[in-house]
Amino acid sequence: MKTFTLEQIAQITGGMLTKAADVAITNIAPPALADENTLALALGEEEIANLSSTKARAALVPLGVNIDGFTTIEVERPRLAMMKLITMFYEEPLVNNGIHPSAVVAPTAKIGQNVSLGANVVVAENAVIGDNTKILANSYIGNNAVIGSGCFFHPCVNIGDRVKVGDKVILHHGVSLGADGFSFVTENPNNIEQARKDGEIKENNVEQVIFKIPSIGSVIIGNNVEIGANTCIDRGTIENTMVGDNTKIDNLVMIGHNCRIGKGCMIVSQVGIAGSCVIGDRVVIAGQAGLADHISIGNDTIIAAQAGVTKSFPEKSIVVGSPAVPRKEFIKQLKILKDAGDLIGKFKKYEPLLKSFEDEMAEKV
C-alpha cells in the first residue's frame, strides 16, 4: 500500500499546507467516500460543502479555501494537482518481464533492450521495437513496422505493415493503426459524384462495379501520443496518415485515410474524421463531432460536441451546430428562431381578428 505524508503531498502538488492533524495518506477520494486516511478531493463547491460531514481529516482544496480546525492543502490549479495525486497512487497493469513463451517474433525483427512482449503477441518480419517498450497480450505488430522506445500497448492492439509509432506512445485496448482506407471508385460517375457536381441525382437503378483503391501509404504517430480503446486510424492511399506529437485521442474515434492531425490536439470519443482532412495544432474536437472529407481546420480551433463540419474553418474558430457555423453565427440563429417563435405567438393572438377582417372584406366584395 502506498503511503504519503501531508508534507510530501503538498510538495508534489505545489500546494500550501494548513496543518491541523498529522495523517498518513493511503488513498484519495471525494469527501463523501473518504475515511480517516484518505485525502478528500474537494475541488468544487459541492465537495467543499461535503467536508462538514466527511470522515477525512485532510483535504485538497482550491486556493483561498481555509476551514478552521481542518487540515487543507490549497492549490492554485486543483485539476492539475489532482492529476499529480492520481499519478502518485496509480499502479500500472502487471507486465511480464521479457518475451512470453507464447509470443511469436520473426527472425528478422529487431527487439530493443528491456522490451516486454505478453502472451500471444506477434511481431512480424523486419519490425523494430525500441527499448523499454511494453506490449501486452494478443497484440500484433506488422511487417516493417517501427515502434519507438518507452511505449505501452494494452492488450489486443493491431499495428499494420509499415506503421511508425514514436516514443512514449500509449495505445489502449483494441486500437487499430494502419488498416486500408475506405477508398473506392466506379468506372463511370456514380450518384455521389453527380450529387456533388449538379446538386441532384440524375441516374436511377444503374448498377456499377465498385473497385477498391488499395492503400499504399501508411500511418505515422508522433511522440507522447495517447490513443483510446477501439480507435481506428487508416493508412493513407498514397501519402501517410499522420498524428502529431502530444496529441490525445479518446475511445471509439475514426480517422480516415490521408488525414493530418497536428500537435497537441484533443479528440474526444466517437469523433469521425473523413479522409484527407488537415487538422491544425492544439485543436479540440468534442464528442460525436463529424468532419467531412478534404477540409482544413486551423490552429487552436474548438469544435463543439455533435458538430457537423462540412467546410473549412480558420485558426481560433469556435465551431458549433450541424451544419457547423461559427459560434457567434450560431447564437444569432438561435435568436432568430426565438424571435420567430415570438412572432408566431403574436400572430396566433391576432389571428381571430385577421380572420374577422378578411370575412368583412369578403362580404363587401
Catalytic residue ranges: 257
341's torsion region: left (phi>0), alpha (psi -120 to 50) or beta? Answer: alpha
Q: Is the C-alpha dihedral spanning 285, 288, 291, 293 positive or negative?
A: positive
Q: How many CB atoms lie within 10 A of CB 44?
A: 12
Cα separations in angstroms, 31 against 3, 24, 67: 19, 16, 14
Q: Are the beta carbons of 229 and 246 closer than 8 angstroms?
A: no
Q: How many CB atoms lie within 10 A of CB 351?
A: 10
Written as one string, the DSSP assignment of 206-235 is: ---PEEE------EEE-TT-EE-TT-EEEP
- At what angle are helices 6-13 and 78-89 packed, to 10 degrees? 120
Return the DSSP state at 165.
E
User: Largest Cα–Cα distance in the chain?
Assistant: 101
d(Cα 73, Cα 19) in Å, to the nearest integer? 8
**Contacts of 172 by beta carbon, 8 Å cutoff, 6+ apart:** 154, 157, 226, 227, 228, 229, 231, 251
Using CB atoms within 10 A of its CB, is residue 86 exposed (0-12), middle (13-18) or buried (19+)?
Answer: exposed
d(Cα 251, Cα 172) in Å, to the nearest integer? 8
Three-state DSSP class for residue 50? helix
